Amino acid sequence: MNGKFAPKSKWNAIDWVDVFSQIPTPRALLIGPDHVFSFANDGYLEVVGRDRNQLLGKSVREIFPEFVEQGLTELLDRVYQSSEACTVAAREVNICRQGCEEIFYFDFTYFPMRNITGAVEGILCQGVDVTRAVRAKTELEAEVRERTLELEELHENLRTLNHDLMRVQDEERRRLGLELHDSAGQLLAALKWKLDPLQRELGAERPDLRKLAQDALELLGELSQELRTVSYLLHPRLLDEAGLAIALRAYVEGLKERGGLSVTLEIDPNLQRLSQGIELTIFLTVQESLTNIFRHAKTKSAKVRILYNSRFVKVQILDRGQGIPGFTSLKDPNVKLGVGILGMRERIRQLKGQLDVESGAGGTIVTAVLPIGCVNEDPVLAPKKCA
Ligand SMILES: Nc1ncnc2c1ncn2[C@@H]1O[C@H](COP(=O)(O)OP(=O)(O)OP(=O)(O)O)[C@@H](O)[C@H]1O
Ligand SMILES: [Mg+2]
C-alpha cells in the first residue's frame, strides 16, 4: 500500500475493498482530518451495532461521540498528524449500541494511509475483539485472588492452632513437672524418712535385712534424682522462679557435671526478666541447640551468648564442631531438618522473632532474635517486673 515501495501498477489492480471485506476481524477506513468513514467491513459493523449506511460519509465524532471522552478521536488525530501508526493492546472501549453503553476490549492499530507523495490521506483501523479473553482473565485473576485469600486464612488458622497447641503443651509440661516434683517428690521424701530409722534400727543380728534396707535407700536416692531430672526436663521450675540467667546457669552446670558438654555462658549483665513466653522460648532454644551439639557436632564445648537491649534480646549458641552436613541456609528445601530446629523456628516466629542458622566445616552458629516490645503488647505474655 505504500507507494514508495510497491510497484504501483500491480497494487492498483487489487480491489482492496474486497480484500478488507473478506477479513472477519473489524476493519474501517477513515478519510481526511475529520476521520470520515469511507469503508467498514461486516466485522466492524457487527461490533459497533450499526448499518453500513449509518456510517459511510459520517465522521467518527458524529457517530460515536462517546469516543471523544475516551481519547479515541484524539488518538486518531495524532496518527493523522504525526503519520505514525499507533498500536494498543486490550484497550477498554465503551460503545453506545441501541442507546446502551457496552464495554468491549480491543487489540487495535490505527495505520496512517499515505498517498504517492507521502501525505496522509486517511487511517486504516483494524482491531481484534479480545473482550472474552480479557473477561476470562479478569475472572480468573479474581478467582486466584479469592483462593489465595482463603489459603492465607487457612494458613493463619493453622498458625493460630499451632500456637495454641504449643501453649497447651507448655502448660501441660509445666503442670506435670510441678506435680512430679511436688507430689511424687514429697512421697519419696516421706519414704526415705521412714526407711532411714528402719535401717539404723536393724542390728547386727539381721545383716540380710539391713542390707535390703540399705539397697532400698540407694534405689530411693536414684529414683529421687531421676524424678528431679524428668521434672526439670518437663519444665525448668527455676525459670519461672528465678528467671532465664539463673535457670541457664543451672542447666549448663548440670550438663558439665554429667560430663556431657562444657559450655561457656556470656549473659548481658543488664538482662532483665522477660515475659514467660520469651524466657521459655529462649531456654528451649538453648536446650535444643546444646542437645544438638552434644548429639551431632562432635565437639565437647560450646558457647551461649545472650545480648539484650530495651527492644530485642539476641541469643547465640556457637560450636566449633563438624557443622550440619550439606547445610546452606534454613530456606534451602534440600537441607533435611528435624523437629528440633523446625520447632525452634516456629516458636520464635510465634513471638515475631527470627531464627537464623549458619553452619559449615568450622562449626555452627544458631542465632535467635526476639523483639521484646511487640510481645509486651500481648497481655498474656506481658513481662514480669525485673527480678
Ligand atoms: N550443632 C550441630 N552440629 C552439627 N550438626 C547439627 C547441629 N545441629 C543440628 N545438626 C544437624 O541438623 C539435623 C537437624 O537437627 P534437628 O535438631 O532439627 O533434628 P535432630 O536433632 O536430628 O532431631 P530432633 O527432632 O530430635 O531434634 C541433625 O540431624 C544434625 O544432622
Ligand atoms: Mg535436635
Residue nearest to atom 18 of ligand 1 (CA): 338
Ligand located closest to 319 CA:
1
Instruction: Quickly list H helices, the chain.
Output: 8-12, 16-22, 42-48, 52-55, 60-63, 66-69, 72-82, 131-179, 185-201, 207-234, 237-242, 244-257, 276-292, 339-350, 373-376
Chosen domain end from 97, 129, 161: 129
CA 218 – ligand 2 centroid, Å: 33
CATH number at residue 258: 3.30.565.10
Q: What is the pLDDT of residue 10?
A: 67
Backbone φ and ψ for 41, nearest 5 degrees, come out as -85, 175
Is 50 among the domain residues?
A: yes
User: Domain total for the chain?
Assistant: 2
Are 247 and 384 found together in one domain?
yes
Whether 183 is covered by a domain: the verdict is no
Of all protein residues, the one whose alpha carbon is nearest to atom 5 of ligand 1 is 324
Q: Which ligand ends up closest to the CA of 296?
A: 1
Q: What is the dihedral of CA 117, 120, 122, 124, to 10 degrees?
A: 90
Regarding whether 242 and 366 lie in a shared domain, the answer is: yes
Q: What would the pLDDT profile of 74-127 be if each residue is shown by its tens digit? A: 999 999 999 999 999 999 999 999 889 999 999 999 999 999 899 999 999 999
Owning domain of residue 90: 8-129
Q: What is the pLDDT of residue 162?
A: 86
Q: Which atom of ligand 1 is nearest to the CA of 357?
A: 8
Mutate to test the pocket of ligand 1, among 285, 291, 296 (most ligand atoms within 8 A of CB): 296
From atom 14 of ligand 1, which residue's Cα is the shortest distance away?
A: 337
Give, for ligand 1, the residue of 332, 341, 364 to mutate: max count of ligand atoms closer than 8 Å to Cβ.
341
CA–CA separation, 273 and 276 (whole Å): 9
CATH number at residue 25: 3.30.450.20
Q: Does residue 138 lie in a domain region?
A: no
**Ligand 1 centroid, distance to 326 Cα (angstroms):** 12
Q: What pLDDT score does 7 carry?
A: 55
User: Which atom number of ligand 1 is nearest to the Cα of residue 324?
Assistant: 5
Beta strands across the sheet bearing 100-114: 36-40, 27-31, 120-129, 100-114, 86-97
Please identify, among 129, 161, 192, the residue that sits at the C-terminal boundary of a domain: 129
239 CA to middle of ligand 1, Å? 25
For residue 186, how far is its CA from the centre of ligand 2 (angstroms)?
Answer: 33
Hey, whose CA ends up nearest to atom 31 of ligand 1? 324
Q: Number of helices (H) and strands (E), helices first, in the chain?
A: 15, 10
Q: Whose CA is nearest to atom 26 of ligand 1?
A: 340
Distance, CA 352 to ligand 2 centroid (Å)? Answer: 22
Residue 105's φ and ψ, nearest 5 degrees, are -125, 130
> What per-residue confidence (pLDDT) applies to 9?
62
Dist. CA 378 → ligand 2 center (Å): 29
**35-66 tens-digit pLDDT:** 999 999 999 999 999 999 999 999 999 999 99
Boundary (domain end) residue, out of 71, 98, 129: 129
Q: What's the confidence (pLDDT) of residue 3?
A: 44
Q: Which residues line ligand 1 (CB under 6 A)?
A: 292-293, 296-297, 319, 321-325, 337-341, 364
Q: Look at residue 277 and tell me if it is in a domain.
A: yes
Residues 381 and 260 in one domain: yes
- Listed as ranges, residues in the chain with pLDDT below 70 are 1-11, 259, 374-387
The radius of gyration of the chain's CA atoms, rounded to the nearest angstrom, is 41
Residue 184 belongs to a domain: no
- Using the mean position of ligand 1's atoms as its centre, give its distance from the Cα of residue 93 in Å: 62
Contacts of 95 (CB under 8 A, 6+ apart): 47, 48, 49, 64, 66, 101, 102, 104
Ligand 1 centroid distance, CA of 337 (Å): 7
- Closest residue CA from atom 1 of ligand 1: 293
What is the chain's percent helix, strand, coil content, to nearest 5?
50, 20, 25
Give CA–CA dist 91/70, Å, rounded: 10
Identify whether residues 121 and 247 lie together within a single domain. no
